[in-house]
Amino acid sequence: MAVFPRGTPLSSEIILTSLDSTPCGNGGGGRDGVAQQAELRRIEGNACFKKARLGAAIDCYTEASKPLPVSGTLPFPVQRSSLVLACDSCTAIALCPDVAVYWMNRGLCHFRRKDWTKVEEDSRRALALDDTLVKGHYLLGYAMLEKEEFPLAIKEFEKGLNLLKSTNSAANMIEDMWQVLAKAKYLDWEQHSTEQVWRMQSLKEACENALQEHHFLSGTLAEDSDGSTDEYSEQLKLLSEVFTKATLADTPTDVPDYLCCQITFEIFRDPVITPSGVTYERAVLLEHLRKVGSFDPVTREPLKEHQLVPNLAIKEAVQAYLKEHSWAYRLN
Amino acid sequence: MDGEHQQQPVLPKREVKGIRPWMRPTLLQRRRRAAPPPFFVRSKGNRREKRTRAHYMLGLALVNKQNLAEGIKALEKSLELGRGAHPASYMVEEIWQEFSKAKYIEWESLSRKRASQLDKLKITCKETLRNYTKFGNPDADEPEEQLNEVEEVFRKAAKTDTPTDVPDHLCCKITLDIFRDPVITPSGVTYERAVLLDHLQTVGKFDPVTRVALEPHQLVPNLAIKEAVHAFLSEHGWAYKIR
């Protein structure tokens, strides 16, 4: 069987831009012929996709889907590619329905067209056939995100991230996945917290009104009786303090300094500590060592890459903090 | 006195003076399980030691005279000096005991005041809410539900003052107590400095958890965790209590 070329990933949305080329050779001479055809269609689709003929791509796919399920190469959400892939994916699916990749490719097509229901369907089919497809999890998670089903989205992204980590994938793919996971977690928190905030606010107002009425009725609200207006205003002050403390975890504020990198001032994701005792973000520090010089950014002591130690305790601290204060997932 | 020196570590010159026989338990003492006498009785140490002692005694005196705030400051200074000179000594341990005792007392009195204030306000709120809703509060939920919510709010507000467990990442893996002077090993695990140094001396030169070979000079102070512990203790004063 001929070897088919792979597409090259682009900088943005790396996960979705790498073209998959998995030949579906499932034994048997006849099957092979079909599989080859399927792959050819897929490659054709890729070419079409590159010329931005999305519709044509999808049509191709749909055409081929008549008796058999249709797969199409997807229009990657990439500047230069187009949807012809979709077309050929469809044909490919028709010819070779058991290949998860084709389903996923068509899902990518729909992704480009922002047709989230179809994205969900296709990615679920793909994952049913092969659970280890990172892109499948990504697509499904994204579809859930767009449909505002945040807990499901978070689950999918976490699965994808675990797969990436266990297979030691490229750092930019892990970065992509992490970013979209953080977005999902933040939106989930936002949804919960707005409701909470509203309830707290109305409860606080009810308490304040009740206190005011109590003082009014007992005649202690009069302006000339200084003693009791003090009591009333003190009570109000304490009440607002109480409500502030109770809602503290849900109130976005600054992330504490010891959980942030000294260079980026963002919360840690993979903290490493240097022999001088200062902790930095691993990726940023490595870049510093490569570009600027082999010394510690803060203490300026000589520093080599092999001297870095992962600060596991701080990593745990960050996780505990994010669990309680999910608003910190918002990336700048 | 010199005869007791059987194993002395090779230290930079200026530190050697600071080490007194009673500060490092010798094999003999350990076998007899004798605790060395309190540091300020025997030592005729150098300037740094004298300053450490001075701040310590000042702190004790102030605390005993109920001047907690000033006393704590002096004890903290003494701790800082003592740790800088010889982190694993009994002196530092003693200072820490007094320091954390004082801190705990400070927290206890403050939290008691806060708790009684909150309780009073909570009772008033619930009472007034009950009456308020009786006289027709159009936006009220089920009155019982509202009262429960108020209870919940006051409970959350008092959360930091409620003793619970110190989070795992702030505790040493050996002592299971909150960190006082955390150091990190090349394997990435963080321990209490004094306890780890003791382990390296008595048990063997390897990391207690990962069992990778480990020398005392490889230890790095985990400044970020130190800050984290400091922040935690300033908010949750109940954690000063030594178990």
Spell out the domain ranges in chain A: 98-186, 257-329
Q: Which amino acid is at B61?
A: A
Interface test with A, best of B124, B141, B234 (most A CBs within 10 A): B124
Mean pLDDT of A254-272: 91
What's the confidence (pLDDT) of residue A116?
Answer: 85
Residue A147 has pLDDT above 50, yes or no: yes
Asked casually if ipTM beats, i.e. exceeds, 0.85, the reply is no
| CA gap A329, A154 in Å, rounded | 13
pTM of the model: 0.69
Paired with A189 in beta bridges are none
The number of angstroms, rounded, from the C-alpha of B144 to the middle of its chain's C-alpha atoms is 43
- Kindly report which listed range (A12-16, A125-129, B111-115, B151-155) carries the lowest average pLDDT score: A12-16
Q: Where are the domains of chain B?
A: 47-161, 168-240
Q: Which residues of A136-148 are buried (b: 16+ CB within 10 A; e: fewer)?
A: bbbbbbbbbbeee
pLDDT by residue (tens digit) across B89-107? 778 888 888 898 999 998 9
What's the confidence (pLDDT) of residue B168?
Answer: 92
Residue A15 has pLDDT above 50, yes or no: yes
Closest Cα in chain B to A214: B128
A–B interface: beta-carbon pairs under 8 A: 128
What's the confidence (pLDDT) of residue A247?
Answer: 84
Q: Which residues of A160-173 are buried (b: 16+ CB within 10 A; e: fewer)?
A: bbebbeeeebeeeb
**CB distance A262 to A327 below 8 Å:** no
What's the confidence (pLDDT) of residue A80?
Answer: 32
Q: Which of A199, A214, A275 sits opposite B220 (nearest CB)?
A: A275
To the nearest whole Å, the CA of A246 is away from the closest chain B CA by 4
Structure tokens at B61: 């005196």
Query: Cβ contact (<8 Å) for A210 and B231?
Result: no
Closest Cα in chain A to B152: A246
What's the confidence (pLDDT) of residue A70?
Answer: 37
What's the confidence (pLDDT) of residue A34?
Answer: 63
Mean pLDDT of A7-36: 44
What's the confidence (pLDDT) of residue B85?
Answer: 75
| CA gap A106, A111 in Å, rounded | 8
Q: Which CATH class is domain B168-240?
A: alpha beta
Mean pLDDT of chain A: 75
What's the confidence (pLDDT) of residue A134?
Answer: 84
> A17 or A42, which is more confident?
A42
Chain A residues in contact with B121 by the CB 8 A cut-off are 235, 238-239, 242
Structure tokens at A45: 């689709």
| CA gap A29, A207 in Å, rounded | 79
What's the confidence (pLDDT) of residue B35?
Answer: 55
Q: Which helix (H) or strand (E) holds B29?
A: helix B27-32
Fold type of domain A257-329 = Herpes Virus-1 (3.30.40)
To the nearest whole Å, the CA of A331 is away from the closest chain B CA by 21
Query: Cβ contact (<8 Å) for A243 and B149?
Result: no
The CA angle B208-B210-B213, to the nearest 5 degrees, is 80
Fold type of domain A98-186 = 1.25.40
| CA gap A238, A230 in Å, rounded | 12
To the nearest whole Å, the CA of A187 is away from the closest chain B CA by 24
Q: Which of A199, A246, A309 sits opposite B184 (nearest CB)?
A: A309
Q: Which helix (H) or strand (E) holds A280?
A: strand A279-281
Interface test with A, best of B83, B125, B135, B179 (most A CBs within 10 A): B125
Interface test with A, best of B137, B159, B169 (most A CBs within 10 A): B169
- Kindly report which listed range (A304-318, B6-20, B201-215) carries the lowest average pLDDT score: B6-20
| CA gap B162, B182 in Å, rounded | 25
What's the confidence (pLDDT) of residue B186?
Answer: 93
Residue B12 has pLDDT above 90, yes or no: no
Q: Which of B157, B170, B188 sits opposite A245 (nearest CB)?
A: B157
Chain A residues in contact with B139 by the CB 8 A cut-off are 202, 206
- Kindly report which listed range (A80-89, A151-160, A212-221, B111-120) carries the lowest average pLDDT score: A80-89
Mean pLDDT of A227-239: 78
Of A214, A216, A198, whose CA–CA distance to B134 is shortest?
A214
